[in-house]
Amino acid sequence: MKDSVILSTNDFQKSADSIKIDDMRTKIFEQMDEILLKVQKDQDKMTSERLVECGIWDFAGQKDYYATHQTFLNPHAIYLLVTNISDDIAATEDNTNFDSIEEYIDFWFDSIHCLRTSSPGHGLNPPVIVVCTHIDEYKTEKEVEDRKKEYIKRFKKCFGGQDKANHNRGIYFISNTEFLKSDFNKLKNKISDVAKEMMYFTEELPMQWIQLENALSVLKDESKQNILSWQTCVELAEMLSIKENELLPFLTYQHNIGNIIFFADIKEYIILQPDWLVKCFRCLVCDNHPQKRNIEIVQLTDWHNLEKTGQLSDKIIDKLFEKEPDLEFGKYKTHILDVMEKFDILVKPKFIDTNNDSSLIPNSYYMPCMIKQQSISLDIIKKMFQSEKCKFSFSPWLILEFKFLPLAYFNHILFYYITRYTVCEKAGQKTLYRGKTLVNLDKTGLRKLCICFSKNAIAFQVLTLSDVKDNIYNTILGELCKKIEELKERLGQSISCDIKAKCSNGDYSNKEGRMTFEELGEMCENGHYLCPEHNEMHSKDDVEKTWLQHADIVIAKLNKEQAENNPRSSIENEPSKEETFTHDQASVKNNLPVSVNLRKQLNIKQSTNENLVITSCIKTGNTLVFTDCIKETTYYL
């Protein structure tokens, strides 16, 4: 009897996908001569006309999409921040999710400031150019000029004293109804001038890199290819004499300058069209307009869970992606979800054994920004668990105050706590809201932790019916700070926060009354301080012995752990990479290492440093720069 072979639907799908991939690979290689010929023509044209190719990305303005923007924000980009000049910077805007245009501008400058690098003589990078539209709404030349002056004055008043304002390279004004060549030329010339300041435009790169970059561009623009498998890219690179171990730095570089979307830790695919990924995000992330949410396509319970807890069932994910059949989501589902998880747009939390919350399902995806359950006041939440005979006592507030708090941080921290502890429940109602939750710290229900999100701050308060051990405050603060450091390292963003506290009955969202340990000492007299929010005296012991006395210890511990994990970061006065290069080499100091084959014997002049462990080489003009792994010593050839 012959052995029977049983093939599942998935097997047929995989087989079909393999055929498609093979066909695509064959077509690419058949067209390679044509691709390389076009690359050479384009390269010759751009060189002769001194042109630089750039891509233009348009970000959705609705706040619902902001969790996705971090995937695309790039330190090598030039940002045009577009706003309506007819809107008063400080006025309330009913048609946006921001309280004012000032907050809209503030948000974008903060987001870009997280990617900051210095640019000597030019301010901070990435550069931002503010573009004001609707200048046509002012009829006379005097009205136009008066409005321009008033807008610039208000802008300077709102942002002039802040570091993030140093990203600004100017404010430009354009009409929405009339093409004024002089105005557009001013803007175009400014973009060109700013681009010339950017160091990466003068980088020298291996010729093969440029050829492969242009080959990928042809696949994007001519063949409309959205995504490329890693293996196909490896074979494509080999045709251009780029080895597999050199492909990773090339793709990372292309991602850093915004040409593609690629992550070394999930490298199965290279996303050639960033707009394709935007469409994928849009399938899951949409605003709350009924016309944009067809709840008939999914089971009502699945939709209920999405709005109550942010849970995305497998069924609802597949159904939502059916809105864009051209995305071929079934083929790339795992990779798309991995990318969204990497940036905390989706969270796949790990549940500890003590969490027996049946409404939160292990191994499921959750999307915090899609929790639509209307938040209620904190007082109402607290009253849900109190009675005349059962009254909780409340600790002072612990508040981590940021200059800017990216949405992904709160999303991740929120799910860290609701998977570590059980979400409180009353009359079948979970206390999980958008930007707010209450969890049990243990199985007794006698101790609870309230977590609240407000503008650029995360606040914590312990509710208790019984004594709380002193180390619970130290533990909460330590775990929280460690989590934030992990997120900073993973997301590669420069953010900082102050550890503050305020009285137990204060408004956590109100900055007034928040104080650091040092500020408490300055405000205190005879063991008491004047609370500015309530205009009454409070005992310093309340805020000191719960949260603030642990702040310095927690920070010192984190600094020690960081120094042990990265000894180089603790070395002071060590020359930076920038300092090891002369002015002539400044244009290539950020190059990634390239392999060099020496075809004749050459004499190498050693620098004064005696360490000879050479790990990389960079070509700059007719000079080879060698770097060692300990002191970053430089040798010249």
Tell me the per-residue pLDDT of 390-408, one tens digit each, with 9 for 90 and over. 888 899 999 999 888 877 7
Co-location of 379 and 527 in the same domain: yes
- Could you tell me the CATH number of the domain that includes residue 527? 3.30.310.200
| Cα Rg of the chain, angstroms | 28
Distance between CA atoms of 122 and 108, rounded to whole angstroms? 20
CA nearest neighbour of 460 among 524, 551, 523, 394 = 394
In a domain, 92, yes or no: yes
Burial class (CB in 10 A: 0-12, 13-18, 19+), 261: buried
Write down the residue that tokens 């003068």 correspond to: 202
Q: Are residues 413 and 434 in the same domain?
A: yes
Asked if 187 and 209 sit in the same domain, the reply is no
In the Cβ-directed half-sphere of 117, how many Cα atoms lie within 13 Å? 12
Q: Which residues are CB-neighbours of 636 under 8 A, at least 6 positions away?
A: 605, 607, 623, 624, 625
Distance CA(99)–CA(472), nearest Å, equals 37
Same domain membership, residue 505 and residue 406: yes
Are 553 and 560 a contacting pair, CB within 8 Å? no
Domain co-membership, 399 together with 508: yes
CATH number of residue 221's parent domain: 1.10.10
The model's pLDDT over 176-201, given as tens digits with 9 standing for 90+, comes to 888 788 888 999 999 988 888 876 66
198: left (phi over 0), alpha (psi -120 to 50) or beta: beta
Which of 510, 541, 564 terminates a domain? The answer is: 564
The pLDDT mean for the chain works out to 74
Under DSSP, is residue 460 helix (H, G, I), strand (E, B) or coil?
A: strand
Q: What is the pLDDT of residue 40?
A: 61
Residue percentage of the chain with pLDDT more than 90: 17
* 392 and 463 housed in the same domain: yes
pLDDT of residue 396: 95
Regarding predicted confidence, which is higher, 60 or 114? 114
pLDDT tens digits for 14-47? Answer: 444 444 445 555 655 566 566 556 656 665 655 5
Quote the pLDDT of residue 528: 94
In a domain, 289, yes or no: no
- The predicted model gives 270-294 an average pLDDT of 70
Say if 150 falls within a structural domain.
yes
Query: How far out from the chain centre does Cα 56 lie?
Result: 19
**Residues 224, 277, 344, CA angle at the centre, nearest 5°?**
165
pLDDT of residue 131: 93
Whether residue 37 is contained in a domain is answered as yes
pLDDT-based confidence at 530, cuts 50/70/90? very high
List, for residues 85-144, the tens digit of each pLDDT value: 887 765 443 333 455 677 778 888 888 888 887 766 677 889 999 999 998 888 888 999
Boundary-marking domain end, from 224, 257, 277:
277
* Structural domain includes residue 337: no
84 three-state secondary structure: strand
Label residue 582 left, alpha or beta by phi (over 0 means left) and psi (-120 to 50 means alpha).
beta
One domain for residues 405 and 471: yes
Res 581 pLDDT > 80: no
Q: Is residue 460 domain-shared with residue 527, that is, in the same domain? A: yes
The percent of residues above 70 in pLDDT, for the chain, comes to 67
Domain boundary pick from 229, 248, 277: 277
pTM of the full predicted structure? 0.62
> Is there a single domain that holds both residue 398 and residue 502?
yes
Q: Are residues 387 and 435 in the same domain?
A: yes
Domain enclosing residue 600, as ranges? 578-636
3-class DSSP assignment, residue 618: strand
Note whether 125 and 212 are same-domain residues: no
> For residue range 453-510, what is the model confidence (pLDDT) as tens digits?
888 899 999 999 877 776 889 999 998 988 888 888 776 677 788 999 999 999 999 9
Q: Which of 207-221, 332-346, 360-374 has the lowest mean pLDDT?
A: 360-374
Least confident segment among 412-416, 445-449, 567-571, 628-632: 628-632
Beta-carbon contacts of residue 399 (< 8 Å; ≥ 6 apart): 457, 458, 459, 460, 500, 501, 502, 508, 514
Q: Is residue 287 part of a domain?
A: no
Asked if residue 358 belongs to a domain, the reply is no
Tally of structural domains, the chain: 4
Residue 336 lies in a domain: no
